[in-house]
């Protein structure tokens, strides 16, 4: 699992979006240093940190497309804006503005910060600068908070379970109702699929071949956090189209509750503390969007399908 300390492999982020990220980082660097200067003590209290977190939530509440960004920022991804759901959530017009962004050649300094920021004619950009700066401030001081004391409890000798207790426990355990996607993949094809998924960072955590087999056979114990729902749908649709999984995979995924949105934490106000499972309607909506919008990882997936076909011929 990515924890912010692991090296993250670079992926093919379009150049125009790399320029947006670089410009955002330039402004955040100045804004963050200014915020640090306003902190008059070497350590913030937990209450003060919560105050800054509330400001982050206010920004997200008023700008919903920014909801998933803190997760990717905390994971240490350099291109956190690209990996978040931001570009999927904004309108086509705003997306076009970001896609055609031209980065200023001026070096951002404290003296020209305000002047240069005014020149950035991108919706949400100023909010992004404030959000990232506040998040980094929270991250810095959260690490300095004293760790809670862990009370050491002496283990007692466990009481041996009676035969009746064991039988009762066995009868209480519910049986899995998950269905199989009816995969038709060889060992080599599973490896290719896992490599492709990792290359496009489709899930929050790196997925192993063994986990893929459990997913497609309907035996996955915990749902997978999806970083890009449109890409997930395109991948599974392609596997379906080429007969590697059953054609009713959408209903299987919905019934199994195999996938959860990576934006759950950021959307607590909407979904509460429960896991936000990706529903059948959301998957179908993504399928419709894929017919008219850019799909991240499309080339990787198309290449994967070609390689899977080559394996079948061997």
* pLDDT tens-digit readout, 35-69: 777 665 666 666 777 777 888 888 988 898 998 88
**Average pLDDT over the chain, rounded to an integer:** 81
Task: Pick the more confident residue, 74 or 200.
Answer: 200
Most confident listed range (78-82, 123-127, 158-162): 123-127
- CB of 99 closer than 8 Å to CB of 17: yes
Long-range (24+ apart) CB contacts under 8 A made by 48-51 are: 48/141, 49/138, 49/141, 49/142, 49/145
Cβ of 7: how many Cβ atoms within 10 Å?
7
Structure-token pair, residue 280: 């059948």
- Residue position matching structure tokens 């125009």: 16
| C-alpha triplet 204, 76, 140: angle, nearest 5° | 125
Separation of alpha carbons 295 and 136, rounded Å: 30
Per-position DSSP letters for 231-283, written without gaps between them:
HHHHHHHHHHHTTSS-TTHHHHHHHHT-EEETTTGGGHHHHTTS--BPPHHHH
Structure tokens at 288: 């419709």
253 vs 264: CA distance, rounded Å:
18
Q: Does position 226 have pLDDT exceeding 60, yes or no?
A: yes
Read off the pLDDT band of 280 (50, 70, 90): confident
d(CA 132, CA 27) in angstroms, rounded, equals 10
Closest CA to 69 of 283, 265, 307, 311: 265
* pLDDT confidence band for 148 (50 / 70 / 90): low
CA distance 88 to 295: 10
Secondary element (H or E) of residue 213: helix 209-217
Lowest mean pLDDT among 82-96, 142-156, 182-196: 142-156
Integer Cα distance of 260 and 148 in angstroms: 30
Which of the two residues, 68 and 128, has the higher pLDDT score?
128
Domain boundaries, the chain: 15-142, 187-313
Q: For the whole prediction, is pTM greater than 0.85?
A: no
Q: Which residue has the tokens 């379970």?
A: 161
> Rounded CA gap, 214 and 181, in Å?
10
Residue 281 structure tokens: 């309607």
- What pLDDT does 184 receive? 93
What is the per-residue pLDDT across 2-24, written as a single tens digit (0 to 9) for each? 333 333 344 458 888 999 999 99
Q: Looking at residues 279-304, what average pLDDT do you find?
A: 90
- Do residues 234 and 301 touch, judged by C-beta distance below 8 A? yes
CA dihedral (12, 15, 16, 21) positive or negative:
positive
Q: Are 302 and 234 in contact (CB under 8 A)?
A: no
């Amino acid at each position: 699992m990515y924890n912010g300390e692991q090296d993250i492999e670079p992926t093919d982020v379009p150049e125009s979006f790399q320029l947006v990220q670089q410009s955002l980082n330039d402004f955040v660097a100045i804004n963050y240093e200014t915020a640090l200067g306003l902190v008059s003590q070497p350590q913030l209290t937990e209450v003060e940190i919560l105050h800054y977190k509330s400001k982050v939530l206010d920004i997200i509440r008023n700008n919903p497309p920014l909801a998933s960004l803190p997760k990717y920022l905390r994971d240490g991804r350099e291109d956190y804006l690209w990996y978040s759901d931001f570009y999927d959530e904004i309108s086509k017009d705003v997306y076009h503005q970001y896609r055609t962004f031209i980065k200023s050649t001026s070096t951002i300094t404290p003296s020209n910060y305000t002047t240069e920021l005014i020149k950035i004619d991108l919706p949400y950009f100023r909010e992004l600068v404030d959000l990232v700066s506040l998040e980094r401030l929270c991250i810095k001081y959260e690490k300095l908070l004293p760790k809670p004391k862990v009370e050491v409890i002496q283990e007692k000798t466990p009481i041996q379970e009676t035969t009746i207790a064991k039988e009762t426990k066995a009868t209480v355990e519910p049986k899995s109702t998950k269905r199989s996607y009816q995969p038709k993949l060889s060992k080599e094809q599973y490896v290719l699929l896992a490599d492709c998924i990792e290359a496009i960072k489709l899930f929050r955590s790196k997925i192993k071949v063994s986990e893929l087999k459990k997913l497609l056979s309907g035996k996955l114990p915990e749902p997978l956090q999806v970083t890009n729902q449109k890409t997930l749908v395109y991948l599974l649709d392609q596997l379906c189209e080429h007969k590697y999984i059953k054609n009713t995979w959408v209903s299987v995924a919905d019934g199994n509750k195999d996938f959860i949105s990576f934006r759950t934490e950021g959307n607590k106000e909407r979904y509460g503390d429960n896991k936000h499972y990706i529903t059948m309607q959301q998957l179908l909506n993504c399928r419709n969007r894929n017919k008219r919008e850019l799909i991240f990882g499309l080339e990787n997936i198309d290449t994967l399908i070609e390689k899977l076909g080559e394996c079948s011929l061997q």
